[in-house]
């Protein structure tokens, strides 16, 4: 029957099972189940809450339940489907909430919205279409599979794809992290090199300086050299880590360094407590860097004895005051 004969009027509600071999147009409501060999039309006013089996369905109204269609599903704009759908082809211009298996083809038009997992061979999405859910695109090789097996297969496939996707993402993340880790040392290494280079000359000068430590004039000569450590505090973050990193290296070259390395930390406080080195005193002289340069490594190397160093400084300060 080509033309629609059977229709459920807008004011009519059917509760139960509807079966037939012709098109069925629903303007009213059907609750229960529908099985047709032809096409189910759910008009804008129509409402179907049922398990539907049919050749096709054209939905402009609302459908809840399940749709098993041997051929095609068309959801018109305004159509609302809340159902699990199994069909061969589907064109969605309305809203579908539920998993959709379209064996051959699934098209979501610009107005179409689909919220659910999709399994299909061909997926066509127009600009503006909305899709939220997993998508499994199957080849047509499993076309001859029976309905149930196919559903299971798609389920298995989707779970497998889920697994592979998670694996892929973890792989991606690990790749990302490895690239990060690869990137970070490359950043760290070049910065490490120049500083080790800068510290190594210091260590190289250290023996010479320690030889001069006894001479009180030494700080005066080292005074112009003092600005050299000042750029170090300007880049504070690499300095401590590098100092730490270079410390073992220094340890291998000179044993004295290791012994004195922890010493400078308490030094200033000790000095401040003793009143020998008042930071304000240095501030008055424009030696704001006094503290920092007291801490600096080269001083550790230059002055093996703390008292010696303090004496040298006080002498120097007093000479400057005078």
CB closer to other proteins out of 26 and 101 = 26
Secondary structure (3-state) at 181: helix
Question: Which residue of 27, 58, 106, 277 would you call a contact of other proteins, by CB under 8 A?
Answer: 27
Q: How far apart are CA 14 and CA 29, in angstroms?
A: 6
CB closer to other proteins out of 6 and 254 = 6
16 binds other proteins (CB under 8 A): yes
49 binds other proteins (CB under 8 A): no
CB closer to other proteins out of 19 and 172 = 19
Q: How many residues in the shown chain lie near other proteins by CB under 8 A?
A: 23
CB closer to other proteins out of 39 and 257 = 39
Pick the piece of the chain touching other proteins (CB under 8 A) from 2-10, 116-124, 274-282, 311-319.
2-10
* DSSP letter, residue 11: T
The radius of gyration of the chain's CA atoms, rounded to the nearest angstrom, is 41
Pick the piece of the chain touching other proteins (CB under 8 A) from 5-13, 139-147, 155-163, 197-205.
5-13
Secondary structure (3-state) at 110: coil
Which of 260, 258, 129 minimizes the C-alpha distance to 118?
A: 129
Question: Which residue of 10, 147, 152, 265 would you call a contact of other proteins, by CB under 8 A?
Answer: 10
18 binds other proteins (CB under 8 A): yes
Q: Transcribe 113-129 into DSSP letters.
A: EEES-EEEEEEEE-TT-
Q: What is the dihedral of CA 255, 258, 259, 265, to 10 degrees?
A: 160
264 binds other proteins (CB under 8 A): no
Instruction: Give the list of residues 6+ apart from residue 233 with CB closer than 8 angstroms, or none.
Output: 239, 289, 292
CB closer to other proteins out of 5 and 320 = 5
Q: How far apart are CA 131 and CA 266, in angstroms?
A: 65
Q: Which residues form the interface with other proteins (CB under 8 A)?
A: 1, 5-22, 24, 27-28, 32
């Amino acid at each position: 029957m080509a033309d629609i004969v059977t229709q459920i009027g807008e004011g009519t509600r059917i509760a139960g099972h509807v079966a037939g071999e012709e098109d069925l147009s629903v303007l009213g409501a059907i609750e229960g189940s529908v099985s047709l060999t032809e096409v189910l039309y759910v008009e804008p006013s129509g409402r179907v809450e049922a398990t539907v089996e049919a050749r096709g369905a054209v939905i402009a109204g609302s459908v809840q339940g399940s749709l098993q269609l041997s051929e095609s599903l068309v959801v018109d704009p305004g159509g609302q489907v809340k159902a699990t759908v199994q069909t061969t082809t589907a064109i969605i211009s309305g809203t579908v909430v539920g998993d959709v298996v379209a064996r051959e083809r699934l098209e979501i038009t610009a107005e179409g919205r689909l919220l659910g997992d999709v399994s299909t061979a061909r997926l066509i999405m127009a600009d503006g279409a909305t899709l939220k859910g997993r998508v499994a695109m199957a080849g047509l090789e499993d076309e001859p599979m029976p309905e149930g097996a196919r559903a299971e297969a798609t389920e298995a496939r989707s779970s497998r794809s889920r697994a592979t996707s998670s694996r892929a993402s973890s792989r991606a993340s690990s790749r990302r992290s490895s690239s990060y880790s690869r990137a970070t040392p490359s950043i760290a290494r070049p910065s490490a090199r120049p500083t080790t280079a800068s510290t190594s000359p210091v260590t190289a000068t250290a023996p010479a300086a320690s030889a001069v430590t006894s001479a009180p004039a030494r700080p005066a000569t080292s005074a112009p050299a003092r600005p050299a450590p000042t750029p170090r505090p300007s880049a504070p973050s690499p300095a401590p880590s590098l100092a730490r990193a270079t410390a073992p290296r220094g340890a291998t070259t000179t044993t004295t360094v290791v012994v004195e390395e922890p010493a400078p930390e308490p030094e200033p406080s000790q000095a401040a407590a003793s009143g020998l080195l008042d930071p304000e005193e240095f501030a008055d002289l424009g030696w704001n860097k006094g503290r920092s340069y007291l801490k600096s490594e080269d001083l550790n190397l230059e002055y093996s004895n703390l008292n010696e160093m303090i004496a040298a400084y006080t002498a120097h300060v007093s000479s400057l005051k005078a």
